[in-house]
Structure 1
């Protein structure tokens, strides 16, 4: 038996590590299958507002008694990939070449997509792993070129944040092979009776890998079952506690490029759309979950909330939280403000909280419109990590938030971020300098030395 199975359940918390939105946040429409990304491509973005909205959400959780951390933005522009493709010269010369020859490549190297920390990695808590460590596998994100560039820097970030080998193990990303396409925690749910007890890892996938099966016809299925199985295996998850469920092709074709667009879980609750999962597959999954604990599936009927409305509003990309003390009977839903503005979704949520047979007692709407316009809601912005007291103490304190640190980060954003950014601005030499200066100031604020690659080679 895992030695941590019997730990005090009150000692264990789910900690949200939100992605701190970077200064190059822009709308380039790079994510095929993400309807919001395509709809807002080439519009003017507001990096300052985006980062402040994200920090405001983090502050809300902190104020309510939740433990909150963050993941830093990655260095952008990321030009190493372009050098591998034969572009030469100084950084600014390469930027000029990209702008003249292929502006889409310029958008790619400036993408701020690491902000969506739900895609950073898949996490297995120590209660569920084979060796009693908290395991992380950074996602390779190889389905979309602008996100495939993230894996190496994500690995570096995770190894910096969770830098104590007595408690944490950060694996390398899975091989960059189409059979093992991995999108991280956006396609992974953990269900349990209490945080401190062994849980069930539920992996959602769009295609097997080798045997494609019933595929969506409009948009690609990003996650493979082979990738999910590899993550579970490397984390030492017992076969009896790992379940694999296929995403419904209709959901993917309607715009649910990740499963967290149509389903969210916490504790014993799985809150999901009727068309989130392949029907036959999911019937077996529900039975297996019910055999393990008091599983509570909350299915939203397509007649009550059409799939199109669920995806447009990002209803299921809400953060589903236990009470700050871990009480699973008084859950809290943090939903994007778009849910309050959608007639069908708003009506459903009003009915939901009146149903005392289910544990979601309160709903709070947050403004993350800059992220939403690029296809990411409240849940996309955070990576969930279940930690006991000793593990929380072992996290690099630079990445744990206090009210004072959030205020300092807000001041940093206001000083260094633009409030308007158009696609053509990416070619501006001053924007290149501003972006790196912002990251340099961030590492000063966090007292990190040579965190970013440019700091190891530049005198900026």
Structure 2
């Protein structure tokens, strides 16, 4: 490591002891609907034009947060965006009565998947000893391309402390989808790590959403050490099978990489580079002979949260669907019975999110930081979750039929629901 980076570590030395991983989950918004807008997301396409259940979806998301709090994991939240997005519609010269799919684009609740909110580099990895966040531009899909301004406002509010540096988006046309295509491996949260940016070149019939140039720009803005930064190509086979983000086929935590055999274009080269930079790395690769790509994607086996519990044990927090596909269930039984680093599985019900193409890992953004430096309104405990449960039970629509997306009565109820949430979080006066 060169002098620039050793200096930054000296600067933050006393802070390393208080750095921990905080999962910021997106609250599922009251406009949650199944419009099937995400090309390459097989679950989204399969359930297009079905009735959605925003209240159940949001309560499932809160239950996942509560589950993690009870495991002893620090937990935060990010907010649903204002919907319909009227300023964006105006910029298009459109209204909610415009031809489809414009109203669906303006009503999208996809900001719930905060793995796409930003890319995060913790302080031990950066030149200036700050935690850097770059908001994702999400330019590939129209319904997500207008998320970043509101996400940026939230990030700059939640992480306003000088310990953080929050960056605007990489400019179009270079697609950046955030932490869903980024992994970090390190001996401990407060120690320097290896940051891995996964990009795509082609996805057969589907677009590769993460551009290498975008990943390189984020790494440069964050002041990462080039010697400890890897740019890895996602396998075309994986994208074509429905792995529209890397986190559908790979996840990392601590010193453990958990990945499908067909996740990466050059897995041997990637693994060799990783072992050179981090000799103690533990690579847990799932053979295609045990779990096919199609079963991995249907179950969201890799879209689990791989976490280190307070006991030091690593666990996978998985969707209940992973229990329902026999090959995945059998593999997980063998995994936790073995001598590898992953020793436990926990299952959560996020079926409403899964039906729209997002599992447990999609719903969270990991930020390694001192919780005392985060705006407390964005952190949760059981009491706050109780309050949010009550708000959602009272105000969120029970169901939305896609044919109602242009219904003004629905719009007013969605706007009122979000206002009630902001009031409950003491955020009503903020421009978020």
Q: What TM-score bracket applies, with the shorter chain setting the length? A: over 0.9
Q: 2:141 is matched with which residue? A: 144
2:330 corresponds, among 347, 358, 361, to: 347
Please show how residues 57-76 of structure 1 align to structure 2 within 5 Å: 57-76=64-83
Residue 193 of structure 2 is aligned to residue 186 of structure 1? no
Q: Cα offset for 1:287? A: 1.9
SS of residue paired to 1:386: strand
Separation in structure 1 between the aligned mates of residue 18 and residue 121 of structure 2, nearest angstrom: 17
SS of residue paired to 2:124: coil
SS of residue paired to 1:53: helix
Mark the runs of 5 or more structure 2 residues left unpaired by the alignment.
1-5
Q: 2:348 is matched with which residue? A: 366
Q: How many residues align?
A: 424
Separation in structure 2 between the aligned mates of residue 284 and residue 311 of structure 1, nearest angstrom: 24
Mark the runs of 5 or more structure 1 residues left unpaired by the alignment.
88-93, 208-214, 454-460
Residues 137 and 171, structure 2, Cα contact 8 Å, conserved in 1: yes
Residue 254 of structure 2 is aligned to residue 267 of structure 1? yes
Q: 2:382 is matched with which residue? A: 403
Residues 42 and 423, structure 1, Cα contact 8 Å, conserved in 2: yes
2:50 corresponds, among 43, 46, 65, to: 43
SS of residue paired to 2:210: coil
Residues 48 and 419, structure 1, Cα contact 8 Å, conserved in 2: yes
Residue 61 of structure 2 is aligned to residue 54 of structure 1? yes
Give TM-score, length-normalised by structure 1.
0.90
Give TM-score, length-normalised by structure 2.
0.96
Q: 1:392 is matched with which residue? A: 371
Please show how residues 88-107 of structure 1 align to structure 2 within 5 Å: 94-95=95-96, 97-98=97-98, 102-107=99-104
Separation in structure 2 between the aligned mates of residue 223 and residue 40 of structure 1, nearest angstrom: 24
Q: 2:30 is matched with which residue? A: 23
Separation in structure 2 between the aligned mates of residue 162 and residue 393 of structure 1, nearest angstrom: 11
Please show how residues 40-439 of structure 1 align to structure 2 within 5 Å: 40-87=47-94, 94-95=95-96, 97-98=97-98, 102-164=99-161, 166-177=162-173, 180-207=174-201, 215-279=202-266, 282-293=267-278, 294-324=280-310, 327=312, 330-356=313-339, 358-387=340-369, 391-439=370-418
SS of residue paired to 2:357: coil
SS of residue paired to 2:9: coil
Q: Cα offset for 1:324? A: 2.4
SS of residue paired to 1:317: coil
C-alpha distance after superposition, 1:203-249 (max 9, x if no partner): 10002xxxxxxx33211111011100000000000101110110000
Separation in structure 1 between the aligned mates of residue 14 and residue 224 of structure 2, nearest angstrom: 18
Separation in structure 1 between the aligned mates of residue 19 and residue 149 of structure 2, nearest angstrom: 30
SS of residue paired to 1:275: coil
SS of residue paired to 1:26: coil
SS of residue paired to 1:141: coil
Q: Cα offset for 1:8? A: 7.0
Residues 6 and 197, structure 1, Cα contact 8 Å, conserved in 2: no
